Structure 1
Amino acid sequence: MINHLAVGVRNHQTSQKFYEETLRSLDYVIHRFGDDYTNFSDGISADPFGDFAIYQGEVYPMHIAFEAKNNKQVDEFYESALNNGGFDNGAPGYRSNYHENYYDCFIIDPDGYRIEAVCHNGQAH
């Protein structure tokens, strides 16, 4: 159900070292990284970017991505969220900057949390 979780950190370098060492005990390793982000994976996640990420930025709010089986579910998630008090933060669509089949939408829930529904397999409606 949860595809990936991303949290903002105050100091990326300090947090990267902390999570790299701490998550090693759970077989997580650094999967991708840049100057201001690090993605971790245990090798099982369907998300090619891993399933836990840290990024230099706001400590609150966190980002939670829910896994969808197909693009239709992403579209339905988006419409339902908007109809029930959520706010648009990115309409459904392909995000080729992540990978070719990355289809998602972004919502801000009524409390300000950033949530996403994502499908990785390119299955359209």
Structure 2
Amino acid sequence: MSLDHVAIRVKDYPAAKAFYTTILAPLGSTMLNEPAPHVCGFGKDAPTFWISTCPEGNPGNIDTPTHVAFACKNSHEVDAWYDAAIKAGATCDGKPGIRAHYHPGYYGAFVLDADGHKIEAVTHTGVAK
């Protein structure tokens, strides 16, 4: 098992962005993506660590749990993971499928665990044949 990416919520986005820019630089990571004014991703070749404020309408609340994404070899593995998660009692937060708004080969599935954490399985290889 390996992680694809992790996302955390922050109270003060500009301060957190500056903090992580500084502390991740010695590790060779930079801010690679800022798709919205309150969200950015850091990494070396691809964003693997994300920070954001909470969703619109509740920007000061950081009680929203963590988001963790597990890396999968292909879409079949994502599908199997999703089926196992639902069978184990997770709540669907996005059935398996292409998420082209991330990139054309992004195939993922999302669930919420019993504590409300957003858990994802993802492959960047599209739909397996």
Q: Among 62, 66, 91, which residue is 1:62 paired with?
A: 66
Q: Among 101, 108, 114, which residue is 1:110 paired with?
A: 114
Q: Among 70, 85, 95, which residue is 2:89 paired with?
A: 85
Q: Note the C-alpha offset of 1:73.
A: 0.6
Q: Note the C-alpha offset of 1:25.
A: 1.4
Q: TM-score, normalised by structure 1?
A: 0.91
Count of matched residue pairs: 120
Q: TM-score, normalised by structure 2?
A: 0.88
Q: Among 91, 107, 119, which residue is 2:123 paired with?
A: 119
Instruction: Tell me the distance in 1 between the aligned counterparts of 2:37 and 2:17.
Output: 11
Q: Map Cα deviations across residues 55-85 of structure 1 (whole Å, 9 max, x no partner).
A: 1115330100000000011111111000001
Secondary structure of 1:17 counterpart? helix
Secondary structure of 1:72 counterpart? helix
Instruction: Tell me the distance in 1 between the aligned counterparts of 2:104 and 2:115.
Output: 32
Instruction: Tell me the distance in 1 between the aligned counterparts of 2:38 and 2:15.
Output: 11
Instruction: Tell me the distance in 1 between the aligned counterparts of 2:91 and 2:51.
Output: 23
RMSD: 1.2
Partner of 1:24: 25
Unaligned runs of at least 5 residues, structure 2:
55-60
* Residue type at the aligned position of 1:73: E
Q: Map Cα deviations across residues 38-61 of structure 1 (whole Å, 9 max, x no partner).
A: 100122xxxx4x100001115330
Instruction: Tell me the distance in 2 between the aligned counterparts of 1:123 and 1:106.
Output: 16
Secondary structure of 1:90 counterpart? strand
Instruction: Tell me the distance in 2 between the aligned counterparts of 1:8 and 1:71.
Output: 28
* Residue type at the aligned position of 2:15: T
Instruction: Tell me the distance in 2 between the aligned counterparts of 1:123 and 1:113.
Output: 26
Q: Note the C-alpha offset of 1:123.
A: 4.6
Secondary structure of 2:126 counterpart? coil
Partner of 1:41: 43
Q: Note the C-alpha offset of 1:102.
A: 0.3
Secondary structure of 2:94 counterpart? strand
> Any conservation in 1 of the 2:93–2:111 contact (CA below 8 Å)?
yes
Which segment drifts farther, 25-34 or 15-24?
A: 25-34
